[in-house]
Amino acid sequence: MASDPTKSNDGYEVVKPPRDLRSKVRVMSEREAARFDPVKSAEAALERLSADFDSWMANEAATLGAAWAEIQANGMTEENGATLFRAAHDIKGQASTLGYPLVGAVAGSLCHLIEHVPTESLPAKLVAQHVDAVRAMVAETAQKEENPTARALVDRLTEVTEDFVARTAPPADQGQT
């Protein structure tokens, strides 16, 4: 079905989408809503899935470790650098959901470093410290944000990374990723 512009003026038009999605959903009655809460149902579904989270986190840490090992063995290229960034970025995005918020913070710091420091200036030692920290924290199931050792590690890595980025990256390119 063609969509007729509802308003048009010199150079732009406003178009109604042809498919009205409200026709595909229904607001539940009070009685139905009392029996089924979509958000609570989804939270319960996620809880059921959580038995697998530790092994998933271990897989993600192993992927990051493998990406870094490839770089150490063959030098950094655009391709393997992107693989390392993607592995860190995946952990940054998932770690909290998987119950490892501090690991997510370390991965976020690594993303910040890779994204804002030119490849040729990327400090191998600092990258390795991030990778090792992720692996160690996952191996030790350091899940609680109050874990003093993990917290200290995150704070120190973040501090050193921010300092390095501030000294190395162009001023306009230092925002958090």
Partner 1 sequence: MAIPHLDLSSLRVLVAEDNPHMRSILRMLLTGYGIRRIFEAEDGASALEMIGSRDPDLLLVDWMMPILDGADLTRIVRRSPEPNCYVPIIAVTAHTQRQRVIAARDCGVTEVMCKPVSARGLYLRIANCVLNQRDFVRTKGYFGPDRRRFQSPTFLGAERRGVRRDDGYTLDGPGEVDQSHSETNTRDSMIS
Residues that bind partner 1 in the complex, under the rule CB under 8 A: 1-3, 5-7, 9-22, 24-28, 32-33, 36-46, 48-49, 52, 56, 59-60, 82, 86, 89-90, 92-98, 104, 111, 175-177
Q: How far is the CB of 99 from partner 1 (least distance, A)?
A: 10
Burial of 117 (0-12, 13-18, 19+ CB in 10 A): buried
Q: How far is the CB of 110 from partner 1 (least distance, A)?
A: 12
Q: Which of 131, 120, 133, 127 is nearest to 169 (CA)?
A: 120
Residue 72 to residue 69: CA distance in whole angstroms: 5
Amino acid identity, position 12: Y
Residue 44 to residue 61: CA distance in whole angstroms: 26
Residue 165 to residue 135: CA distance in whole angstroms: 23
Token pair for 20: 């009205």
Q: How far is the CB of 122 from partner 1 (least distance, A)?
A: 19
Residue 5 to residue 138: CA distance in whole angstroms: 54
Return the number of the residue (124 or 139) whose C-beta is nearest partner 1.
Answer: 139
Return the number of the residue (89 or 153) whose C-beta is nearest partner 1.
Answer: 89
Q: How far is the CB of 124 from partner 1 (least distance, A)?
A: 24
Return the number of the residue (125 or 170) whose C-beta is nearest partner 1.
Answer: 170
Q: How far is the CB of 165 from partner 1 (least distance, A)?
A: 14
Return the number of the residue (27 or 73) whose C-beta is nearest partner 1.
Answer: 27
Return the number of the residue (19 or 156) whose C-beta is nearest partner 1.
Answer: 19
Residue 80 to residue 10: CA distance in whole angstroms: 48
